[in-house]
Structure formats: structure tokens, C-alpha cells
A = this chain, B = another copy of it.
Amino acid sequence: MTETVKVALLGCGVVGSEVVRLLDDQAADLTARVGAPLELVGIAVRRPGRHQDVPAHLLTTDAEALVARDDVDVVVEVVGGIEPVRSLLLTALRSGKSVVSANKALLADDGATLHDAAAQAGVDLYYEAAVAGAIPLLRPLRESLAGDRINRVIGIVNGTTNYILSRMDATGAGFDEALAEATQLGYAEADPTADVDGYDAAAKAAILAGLAFHTRVTMSDVHREGISDVTAADIASAKAMDCTVKMLAICERRATDGGAQVAVRAHPAMIPRSHPLAGVGDAFNAVFVEAEAAGSLMFYGRGAGGAPTASAVLGDLVAVARNRVSGSRGAGESAYADLPVQPMGETVTRYHVSLDVDDQPGVLASVAGAFADEGVSIKTVRQEGRGDAATLVLVTHSAPDAALDRTVRKLSGMPFVGRAASVMRVEGLATD
């Protein structure tokens, strides 16, 4: 039995400083739960002068030396980004240290390399904090549902875009205005690209799909669309059909003639207001999991912020430290299923299409014909307004995304169609 479990921390921002605080505040409880004291032996930061709130003697700018120290048992990483973190964590894993990481970008980009290194060294690589902050989600997927078949994971996993879309829905504001408000309130970063363009949600979708389907899924397998093109008109269209617009991460297991495939995407979509995800406001996260035997499960909580993320980091730290003490290793990567990723064009979705049209005989027949030509079945159609202000609003049944896309492009080229005022996928309706 190890006398103490020695912990090195990489990064000491909003999350890291909470980790330091909780390690100190709850030392007695953590010791009892691990079976040995946790000792913080070093904190790698870029600018030590900025961290007055943590013990100065622990600070170092030499992360390479810290992760290579012989006396370190566990490396906790809350820096983010791909390099130099990947190299640091590989050094740590290869030298027999367990790793706890909150780094969704790295896990989604190159989790395989890290998992391989962890398996080879017989150590743990845990990353609950990488998705949905404090919400226990990865451990339930990896362990609680290990005896079930997961068919679908759908969730709101990015707080920034959820705040922006919630404001657009509540106030009728356009995207730019809502983003400005989010930035002012600290819900959006100075450079909001990762959130607004869907990179953050896509990375989380890749991680969730990998766990849910026992398959390696990377960022490049995820179809990604951001919310910067979502207009006040889209939100109004959604409202008119008693829907709201949410940025969703969607992971699906699809039966095809050639066997099961996985479809993974992150994009804005309309969902009915009656759907439980529709009520998830502000910067909260919520994730639905649909499994064959378990049915529908929902997990809800704070998806970001220093303390919630630190809670997830510490839960992992206790787990890997316990394993060190008992000389065991937790469940490693499970990627045996190795399911192929379905191209987005073949993925079955539904579209909501709102078209500005000339109000003249034969228009509906032509529009309906364009859908029929692509084999897309229409679920509902209604005309709003008359004359120059006529709008045709259609919702399709499920169809391959490529067929829907081709239909919309064909419609846009029709002489009596002004423009496709709003084209958006629709999720969460009862199945066809």
C-alpha cells in the first residue's frame, strides 16, 4: 500500500484553483475515501506570479520535469488544447502515472494514442470532467450501462450556445446581439469560436459516441455545424410550430443492411417544446441516453464552471488513487465493437424548411414534386400569408441527409421560390 498518493497538477485556472482548494478543504474525507492521503506535489503554470492563492513552493513553469518526476503517482490535467498537453500526458502515462484529464479537445482528437499508452503501462486514464462538467455521464455510460445496448445519446453539452439560443428564444434577439450579451456576462469567451462553431459540442459528441458504442470515434468523424447562421427568423419558425432551437450533440447506433453503424453529429436543431431538453435553459447541460433494456434516462446539471468541473476531476482522482492503493486498474478503453462511422449524407434526419414563395397555382405541386423526386416524404405542410408574403412551411419525415440537402438545393433554384428562409433539422419528434 502506497503511503500517500502524490498528485501533480497541470494548469491552475478556474478549474485548477478549485481542485487545489477542494484537495485542501476536504483532505480528511478524501483520505478516508481513497485509503491514503492525497498530496499535491507540484502545479505547472505559465505565469507563477498570477497564482497568489496557491502555495508558492508548489508552482513551477517546468511541466515536462513535473510529469517526469519519479515520486508522482497521478497527473491531473486542466490546461486544455492539444499540444503541449498530449506530449506531457504521454510522458506521464508511459512512466506509469495515472492521468485524470478534463481535456475534451485532446480526447476527441487523439484519445486512441492516450488510451494505448495507458493500457500499455497498466494505468488509468479518466476524463469525466471532459463532458458535461459535474454531471456523472461517462462513468454511467462506461460502467452502469455496460450490460445494455445503447442506441442513442442526445444532449445539450455546450453552455455558451445554450445560453445564446435561450436568449434568442426569449427575447427575439438576433445571433450577434445574443452573443454580445453572452460575452458581456462571461458566458462566452473573448474568442467564442470553439463554442459557437460547434467544435466543443462535436468533441464531446465524439467522446460520448466512443463510450456508448465501444468504438473509437474522433473529431473528424463528427458532422459539425455551429449556431452563427441561426437567425431570429429560424427561432420564429420554430416557435410557430411549438418548437425551440437547441444546439445538440447526437450519437446514434444505426442498423443498416451492412450491419450496425454509428452516426455522430453536433448541430442546431428544432425540438418540440414538450421535449424535456427544451426546458434546459441558460448554461445548464442535459443528456438523454436511450438504451435497449434501460429505456430513456436523463442526466441534468451544471456543465461548466470551476467548482462543478473540479467535482468531476476529484471524483476521478479518488477513483484512480484508490486503484493505485489497491494495486488495481479501472475499466480501460472498450473499443471492441469498432463500428464504421456512417457518412452524414446517409444519416437519417428530418428537415424543417420554410420557403418564401410566389402565391400562384401549382407552386405546392412543384415543391412537393421536388421532395418526391428525392424520395423524401412530407409530414406536414402549411402556407402562411398570401401574395408576395406567402411562406410555405414543410416538415419532412426521416430521410437520408443527402436527399434532404439535394431537395433544398433544388427548391432554391425554382423560379417561384424566393429563398429558403429557414432550413433546420428537427429532432425529438415521435418516430415516423
Contacts and interface: CB of A to CB of B under 8 A. Distances in A.
Interface string A286-302: 00000111111111111
A135 B297 contact: yes
A328 B122 CA distance: 13
Contacts of A298: 298-301
A400 interface: no
Interface stretch (A41-49, A111-119, A308-316): A308-316
B326 A326 contact: no
A24 interface: no
A140 B147 contact: no
B139 A32 contact: no
A337 B136 contact: no
Contacts of A62: none
A410 interface: no
A294 B319 contact: no
B308 A295 contact: yes
A51 interface: no
Contact count band on A: 35 or more
A307 interface: yes
A317 interface: yes
Interface in A169-192: none
A199 B341 CA distance: 48
B139 A143 contact: yes
Contacts of A302: 294-296
A390 to B, nearest CB: 39
Contacts of A297: 134-136, 299-301
A378 interface: no
A148 interface: yes
A29 B308 contact: no
A239 interface: no
Interface in A69-91: none
A276 B276 CA distance: 10
Contacts of A305: 295
A311 B291 contact: yes
A334 interface: yes
8 contacts: A32-B334, A33-B334, A136-B140, A139-B139, A139-B143, A293-B308, A297-B299, A298-B299
- Ranked nearest first, the 10 interchain pairs of A and B with the lowest CB-CB distance are A147-B314, A328-B328, A136-B144, A134-B294, A136-B140, A293-B311, A294-B311, A297-B301, A146-B318, A32-B336
